[in-house]
A and B are shown apart, each in its own frame.
Chain A
Amino acid sequence: DTEVTQTPKHLVMGMTNKKSLKCEQHMGHRAMYWYKQKAKKPPELMFVYSYEKLSINESVPSRFSPECPNSSLLNLHLHALQPEDSALYLCASSPLAGAYNEQFFGPGTRLTVL
C-alpha cells in the first residue's frame, strides 16, 4: 500500500464549527506532515510529526490543532476558522523526517469556511 488517504474530500464549515481532518498511511513511514495549499500556489508547510511527536510548527494559528494518535494516523482539528483559511489541506508522509526523504502526498481535503 503506497497511498496516503485523507478524509473527507470536501468540507464546508461555519466559523463557529469544530471539525477534524484525517490522514492515514500504511507504508510504515515515521514522519507525517500537514500542508496548506491555496489555489495556484505552492503547498505551505504547517506541521511536521516525527515518531508521533510534533517536531515543526510553522507558527500556525492555534485554531489549527494537530494530533498524531499513532504512527499511521494524523489528524488536524479545526475550530473557529476564518474564511481566509479556505484552502486545500494536504497530508504527506515520508519514511523519516529530514532532508533525505521524498514525501508521499494524499489527495487533500478541500475546506471552505463560510
Chain B
Amino acid sequence: AQSVSQHNHHVILSEAASLELGCNYSYGGTVNLFWYVQYPGQHLQLLLKYFSGDPLVKGIKGFEAEFIKSKFSFNLRKPSVQWSDTAEYFCAVNAGKSTFGDGTTLTVKP
C-alpha cells in the first residue's frame, strides 16, 4: 500500500521568505507524484507533477519540486512567497489510485 507523509502541518512565513514543504512517500514500485493547492474557498488545483525524466519540475506560480528517489521525497519549493500563496498544500502519489498527504496549511503574512 502507498502512503504519503507531509511533515509540516502549519507553516507561517512573511512575504518574500523562501518556502520548502516536505513530502515523503512509501511505495515499493514506480509512483507518480503531484502537488495540489487548495486556496481558501476554492477547489483543489494541480501545482505540478512528476512522472519521469528531470527530477526538478516546475509548476505554476513559481513553484518547483524536486524528486529524490533515494530519499522517497518530493519537496515543494518557492524562492519568494506572496500573501496570495496562503492556502492548503497537498502532496499526492498515484500508483494506480491517488493517495493524499495530510496537507500543510501555509499562512503568508503581508
Contacts and interface: CB of A to CB of B under 8 A. Distances in A.
Interface of A: 4, 33, 40-45, 48, 56, 90, 92, 98-108
B70 interface: no
Contact of A42 (B96, B102, B105): B102
B45 interface: yes
A56 B101 contact: no
Interface string B25-50: 00000111010100000111110010
30 contacts: A4-B43, A40-B88, A40-B103, A41-B102, A42-B90, A42-B100, A43-B90, A43-B100, A44-B100, A45-B97, A45-B99, A48-B97, A90-B43, A90-B44, A92-B44, A98-B94, A99-B30, A99-B31, A99-B94, A99-B95, A99-B96, A100-B32, A100-B94, A101-B94, A102-B49, A103-B46, A104-B46, A105-B45, A106-B43, A108-B43
Given A42-B100, A90-B43, 12 more contacts: A33-B98, A40-B88, A40-B103, A42-B101, A43-B100, A45-B99, A90-B44, A92-B44, A99-B94, A99-B95, A102-B34, A102-B46
A66 to B, nearest CB: 15
A24 to B, nearest CB: 14
Contacts of A45: 97-99
Contacts of A56: 97
Contacts of A42: 90, 100-103
Contacts of B46: 102-104
Closest 7 CB pairs of A and B: A42-B100, A105-B44, A107-B43, A99-B94, A99-B32, A105-B43, A102-B46
Contacts of B98: 33, 45, 103
A90 B101 CA distance: 16
